[in-house]
Amino acid sequence: LAGFYTKTAGQPIKAIRSIFETIDDIIHNKKVKFSFKGIGTTGSGRKFIGKIIGCDIILDEITAHARAAYDLNKDVDTIIEIGGQDAKFTTMKDGMVTLSIMNNVCAAGTGSFIEEQALKLGVSLTEYSKRAENVKSPISSDRCTVFMERDINYYLSNGYTVDEILATILHSVRENYISKVAIEANIGKNVCFQGATARNKALVAAFEQKLQRPIFVSKFCHLTGALGCCLILKENNPKKTEFRGINIYKEEIPVESEVCNLCNNNCKINKVTIGHEILAFGFLCGRDY
């Protein structure tokens, strides 16, 4: 019925408040009423936000995306998922996950790299795909962002057009994904591409060109994590939701900072206190507070 997509931008509380404010605006201006029967979160900030807003289910994104993919296409056996900060490769059989690989240590194969390069080239994401489609391009390194950017700068200085460089970037992201995230031999016949980057038709075409097969992309590709949560929530049918309500966006939720010294990462942790519980995020190692 509706989907609200916004970037976390390292501030999950601010992001969730903006979404709740949007829903509240619709309630008042469109004169509609929502009955919240269950609430779920997924993604990198799922535990932190889940506890703050009172979620009934907190799902890892592999499970959420797989459930959504199966609902959208019962034949899917492979999921390509390139998010803003990580990339995932999942294989399935009859709706069950058989293998999953996640790469969250290299920015070269993520949506943020594509967005960053587009920004440097003065190209908006809405026009990126059209400018890169059917354009021949030089090949750049797929090893990491440093080598990719080196090659891109070299090509620009040698007279290649911005459109050719846009295509180069997509080829590099594709090669990085296939060589460092996916297991090419395990890629099946029915491939589904999920995540907001799947809205870039030129990137999808680059994968189709390489794999020599069509790739399924749902119009809900950027919302499949949320869709998967909803479907699993509906199956679990919680008797009473723990949701604190959308009006939580009106409350001040002060965020404090501290540095964790448990290892040499020295992560800067952001924490909030809800009731008598301290919630925190920012651990590079994935620890809970």
Give the start-end residues of each E strand in the chain.
40-42, 57-59, 78-82, 87-93, 96-103, 191-194, 215-216, 256-259, 268-274, 277-281
Q: What is the pTM of this model?
A: 0.86
Confidence of residue 93 (pLDDT cuts 50, 70, 90): very high
Q: Which residues contact 275 (CB under 8 A, 6 or more apart)?
A: none
| 197-210 pLDDT tens trace | 999 999 999 999 99
pLDDT at 227: 95
pLDDT at 109: 64
Q: Give the mean model confidence (pLDDT) for residues 112-123.
A: 90
Of the ranges 150-164, 219-233, 264-278, which one carries the lowest mean pLDDT score? 264-278
pLDDT at 142: 65
| 183-195 pLDDT tens trace | 999 999 999 999 9
Q: Give the mean model confidence (pLDDT) for residues 64-82.
A: 96
Of the ranges 106-115, 121-130, 214-223, 267-276, which one carries the lowest mean pLDDT score? 106-115
